[in-house]
Amino acid sequence: MAPEARSPTSPATSPAGPLLEVRGLCSHYGRIQALHGVDLEIAAGELVALVGANGAGKTTLLRAISGVQPVTSGDILLAGESVVGASASRRVRSGIAQVPEGRQMFGPMSVEDNLMLGAYTRDQRQVATDLDGVYAMFPMLRERHRQAAGTLSGGQQQMLSIGRALMARPRLLLLDEPSMGLAPNLVEEIFATVEGLKESGTTIFLVEQNAYAALSIADRGYVMETGRVVLSAAGRALLADEKVKAAYLGL
Amino acid sequence: MFAEFLQFLLSGVTVGAAYGLVALGFSIIYNASHVINFAQGEFVMLGGMSTVFLMAAGLPMPVAVVLAVLVTVVLGLLLEKLAIEPARGAGVVPLIIITIGASIFLRGVAQVAMDREFHAMPPFTGDAPIMIAGATILPQSLWVFGGMAVMGMLLWYFFARARFGKAMLATAYNPLAARLIGVNTRLVLLCSFGLSALLGSVAGILLAPITFTSYDVGIMLGLKGFCAAILGGMGHGAGAVVGGLIVGIAEAMGAGYISSEYKDAIAFIIILLVLFFMPNGLFGKRTTERV
Ligand SMILES: Nc1ncnc2c1ncn2[C@@H]1O[C@H](COP(=O)(O)OP(=O)(O)OP(=O)(O)O)[C@@H](O)[C@H]1O
Ligand SMILES: [Mg+2]
């Protein structure tokens, strides 16, 4: 008897489809349209970078994927299932976690409270080992576990923000400009962390102003301009692209 | 001399404890939504008045008290569901105006459904005054103070230890981040109204045997509680309690040493002074956030 006696039509067993698929996504702030039909997809295990100038709509896209920004048309599929109608809370439960732009700490709460809140949607009995995992990844957080998150330095807050998102055990991790405003050595550390997460099998969608660093570690990249995806290719290929060089790499 | 001072202090602490509970109600809703709920005083009125009328209908006091709290909590939840939730996208100011409308509505309903008389609720455990160093205190005052202490500790436990309590705090500190970790912030808002109604009704029930109750006690008690919340720093739990006690004590001292005619004015003088000289209140937001 075959060990996998699953129904051949069950979508959950089909490994072919992407983990995340965004189709014709539009979003507005009042009358201003911020996303004009965005299409993209991310396969399980991939590290995909999204670069684009200020105001291109990168944050809006990530917020729409997380369900905290209303969508006016289009679809978002996670492992083949539409989540556009689901609440932000349901999307976290189904495996989407975000490290938001500007880190978004619960400032007066302790480092450990911030991390534990990251696992808010999960069975609390299962999170202790994950907490240890995050502390092993960022020993500095363990040292400061009782300190108020708002008193950490920018780099430490960024690590806490990543740790908090990991506490949800995401299938898909969205990172919104994790290197923003950090000193060069910390930027390197953050990118090394992101690469490490990819190695460990997490699917990552990385939004970055630092296009060179992001495209260097990404499997594939998308370039966004004024609410539209204008280019997509393998990360290295985009680095070599003349238009990308001129617009985002300052070359 | 000292006995007189102690007497004023004791009566100040008693009403101050009730103001503290009302102030906690303001702070909890403020934290969940940045809305000042001007119907908070009506929760206080509903607690006391419902107890009086349920007892008049023949229910024993403990049953009447529990039912009155439940009725008030349900009304608080309905207020959120029917009036606040549908207007959530409209911004803070329209929501505050809605709560003012709701307070007028609730007062009107209380007038019609109950009456316009003053009612004295019997004290929980007799009215034989207890002597302390030459001053007297009513057993009911101990109930008020004990009630506040118990509610304060339960709230502290809820916000410091319980998972949903922490999620409510997290929503206060950063609503976007709270949604991104999967907190249902609508539920947080709904619960904040339920919790505030609970606190308000308890304050109203504890205080009713001392101060009388009527359909319009909510106006003054609400304003005093608001003043206490501002003084303590809107949104700060311990600040609300301390603010309540300070307002209560200041009021009792003012009434005792100056004139009881100025009693109600004192709370308003405190509001003006606080808003003028320290708009964040005693425990208000220190800037711990680094950007
Ligand atoms: N809250 C808002 N209200 C109105 N318009 C907004 C709001 N937030 C963003 N926008 C507009 O939507 C567009 C996309 O903004 P978005 O923040 O998604 O860009 P971004 O690519 O993340 O930029 P950045 O690199 O600066 O983070 C911009 O034109 C911006 O002005
Ligand atoms: Mg952005």
pLDDT in tens, A67-77: 999 999 999 99
pLDDT of residue B261: 83
Q: Choosing among A28, A29, A68, which should be mutated to test the B contact, i.e. which has the most B CBs within 10 A? A: A68
Give ipTM to 2 decimals: 0.91
Beta strands (DSSP E) in A83-167 are: 96-99
Question: B121 Cβ partners below 8 Å, 6+ apart?
Answer: B48, B51, B52, B55, B205, B208, B209, B213
Answer for the pair A160, A152: CB distance below 8 angstroms, yes or no: yes
Which residue has tokens 């906690």? B24
Please identify, in words, the CATH class of the domain defined by A20-249.
alpha beta
* Torsion angle of the four alpha carbons A73, A74, A78, A83, in this order, in degrees rounded to the nearest 10: 20
Backbone angles phi, psi at B132, to 5 degrees: -135, 110
Q: Is the pLDDT of residue B289 over 70?
A: no
> How far is residue B115's CA from residue B118's CA, in Å, rounded to a whole number?
9
pLDDT, residue B29, reads 94
**For residue A179, what pLDDT is reported?**
93
Q: Sign of the CA dihedral B71, B73, B74, B78?
A: positive
pLDDT for A193 beyond 50? yes
- Pocket probe for ligand 1: among A25, A27, A28, A29, the residue whose CB has the most ligand atoms within 8 Å is A29
Report the distance separating Cα A197 and Cα A207, nearest Å.
15
DSSP B119: B
Q: Which residues pair with A208 in a beta bridge?
A: A51
Strand partners, A228: A225
Q: Would you list the DSSP string of B148-204?
A: HHHHHHHHHHHHHT-HHHHHHHHHHH-HHHHHHTT--HHHHHHHHHHHHHHHHHHHH
**In terms of CA atoms, which chain B residue is nearest residue A150?**
B289
| pLDDT band at residue B291 under the 50/70/90 scheme | very low
pLDDT, residue B127, reads: 85
Residue A119, classed as helix, strand or coil, is coil
Q: What's the pLDDT score for residue B283? A: 85
| Res B178: pLDDT | 97
Residue A64 in contact with ligand 1 by CB distance below 6 A:
no
- The full DSSP string for A30-53 is TTEEEEEEEEEEE-TT-EEEEEE-
- A115 touches A164 (CB < 8 A): yes
Q: Structural domain boundaries of chain A?
A: 20-249
List all residues of chain B from 156 to 195 with a beta carbon under 8 Å from chain A. Answer: 163, 166-167, 169-170, 173-174, 176-184
Q: Give the tens place of pLDDT for each residue, B14-57.
A: 999 999 999 999 999 999 888 999 999 999 999 999 999 999 99
Q: Per the CB < 8 Å rule, is A120 touching B179?
A: no
Closest B-chain CA to A156: B290
Going B109 to B114 to B119 to B120, the CA torsion angle's sign is: negative
Q: Is A68 in the pocket of ligand 1 (CB under 6 A)?
A: no
pLDDT band at B287 (very low <50, low <70, confident <90, very high): very low
Write out pLDDT tens, residues B79-101.
999 999 999 888 889 999 999 99
Query: With a threshold of 0.95, does the pTM exceed it?
Result: no
In angstroms, rounded to a whole number, what is the distance separating the alpha carbons of residues A109 and A111?
Answer: 7
B18 contacts B149 by C-beta, under 8 angstroms: no
Phi then psi for residue A119, to 5 deg, are -95, 25
